A and B are shown apart, each in its own frame.
Chain A
């Protein structure tokens, strides 16, 4: 139980375009989801906390207008990287809190060319 499905697993986009990443809780309702960014061989850095039905809470230094988060239902949160640039290339991981802890998506490798 407590599975989170994240799509796409890999995406390549052109500089200046926007990319949407989806995170779905498959067998539970997730009122809170978290979005992380991970650079190669580094740890996970929390970008924002997504709450169903309300605005996301962004960590210090994260651009709200660049990383748009929507949590419109109890099973879906999306992260949209707007006007992507090569420096946005990274591994993005979502996570959801459930009754017994945290579960993580399999991650999205974003490459901006």
Chain B
């Protein structure tokens, strides 16, 4: 299945700084989701944004979606060391048999 591209591939910041990750995708979508994965673990759902939404907030997370550019961004504000993980965007389209298509991921390292 085609994957979206995420950038940067890796991001290292200091605690307290903001982290921004970008995701681009190729096909039309019904929604876009962001997931977090700690090393060697499963995925945890962070936030979902529908195709008719442009921005969504959840705690320290802010997600934007630009369907005309087929892109999304995830902003984590006031980062903490515990935010260190890999972050993946995933797109959903009802025409793809309920499958999620994952982006390439961004590895975030937050240092003290």
Contacts and interface: CB of A to CB of B under 8 A. Distances in A.
Is the interface on chain B under 10, 10 to 19, 20 to 34, or 35 or more residues? 20 to 34
Contacts of A59: 1
A57 B97 CA distance: 10
A95 B99 CA distance: 10
Interface residues of A, number: 25
B78 to A, nearest CB: 26
B36 to A, nearest CB: 11
Nearest to B6: A43
Q: Is the interface of A mostly helix, strand, loop or mixed?
A: strand
Nearest to A94: B42
Given A101-B48, A106-B41, 12 more contacts: A34-B100, A41-B107, A42-B105, A43-B88, A43-B103, A93-B43, A95-B100, A101-B33, A102-B33, A104-B35, A104-B42, A107-B41
Interface of B: 1, 3, 33, 35, 40-45, 48, 88, 97-105, 107
